[in-house]
C-alpha cells in the first residue's frame, strides 16, 4: 500500500510534467499546472528536496533527475 502523501507528491510532479514544466524556460505556476498550493506540505517538501525548482514569477519546474 502506497501512503497518501506519496501519491499526492507523484500527482503534483505528474501535473507539472504534463504542463511541460521541465526547465526554467518552460516553468509554470502551480495554477497553470493545475496544482493548488493549499495542499501545502507536500508541495513544500518537493521544493525543499529540489524536485520542484522555483523560478521568477512564482513559477516552478520539475528537476527530472530528482523526480525519479
Q: How many domains does the chain have?
A: 1
Residue 63 has pLDDT above 70, yes or no: yes
Q: Which three cell numbers stand for residue 52?
A: 520542484
Which H helix or E strand runs over 65? helix 64-67
Q: Which domain holds residue 32?
A: 4-67
Return the pLDDT at 45: 92
Average pLDDT over residues 39-44: 81
Cβ atoms of residues 13 and 46 within 8 Å: yes
Q: What is the mean pLDDT of residues 12-25?
A: 96
Confidence tier at 60 by pLDDT (50, 70, 90): very high
pTM of the complete model: 0.87
Amino acid at each position: 500500500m502506497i501512503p497518501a502523501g506519496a501519491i499526492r507528491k507523484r500527482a503534483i510532479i505528474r501535473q507539472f510534467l504534463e504542463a511541460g514544466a521541465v526547465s526554467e524556460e518552460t516553468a509554470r505556476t502551480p495554477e497553470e499546472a493545475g496544482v493548488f498550493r493549499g495542499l501545502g506540505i507536500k508541495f513544500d517538501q518537493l521544493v525543499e528536496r529540489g524536485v520542484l525548482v522555483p523560478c521568477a514569477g512564482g513559477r516552478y519546474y520539475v528537476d527530472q533527475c530528482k523526480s525519479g
